[in-house]
Amino acid sequence: MKLRVIGWADYDDDLPEGDNGWAARNAIIDEIRAHGYEFSGWHHQEGAAATPVLNDGRKYCYSRRGWGDVMAEAHGLMGPMDYARYAFAFGEDRSKCPKRTPFCPEAETDLAETYEREVSEEDLARAEEGGIAFSEYEYLRYLYTGDTLVLTSHGSRTAYRVKGAHREHNREKEPAFLLIVSLEKL
């Protein structure tokens, strides 16, 4: 999905809410990194202009711990309890919080994208059954419901509509994360 943050609203502003999926989370993380934002889940819920609004016209609201997890990942903290650093109020430095800026929350349309990946014959067979997992997901950070995923293997090309995508932690071994994608053949 071609998602990006277009502004910051209050948690209680009258805007439709997004579903906090994988692609939206990554768009928010990229915005936090780009501007050096650093504020708590408490501020996300209770402060001014601390709830991201994406170009799909939706605000993205998280629990305090959920926002703490987003903020921790944005700052490279990926441990199981790292979210706690950002979940609750810790005396925010207002210079590290977003500023209220005028924005138009009207939804953009045609946000779907097409991604192409070379896969093994085994992975192609799994995709035919409705799903596939990727251990390398940097290229697929914005892959989400409604996108098209074209899989190629030994000269064949098959297009699938993405029905869903989420990341699963795998703390037991490398890679630490897997991107799990459910598919339907086009």
- What pTM, to 2 d.p., does this model score? 0.89
pLDDT at 102: 72
Q: What percent of the chain has pLDDT over 70?
A: 96
pLDDT at 174: 64
Q: Which two tokens stand for residue 98?
A: 């977003």
Q: Report d(CA 57, CA 6) in Å as an integer.
A: 9
Residues 112-134 have pLDDT tens digits of 999 999 999 999 999 999 999 99
CB 50 within 8 A of CB 43: yes
DSSP H or E segment with residue 45: helix 41-46
Secondary structure of 60-126 as H, E, C letters: CCCCHHHHHHHHHHHCCCCCCCCCHHHHCCCCCCHHHCCCCCCCCCCCCCCCCCEEEEECCHHHHHH
109-124 burial, b for 16+ CB within 10 Å, e for fewer? eebebeeebebeeebb
Residues 58-108 have pLDDT tens digits of 999 999 999 999 999 999 998 889 999 999 877 778 789 998 877 777 789
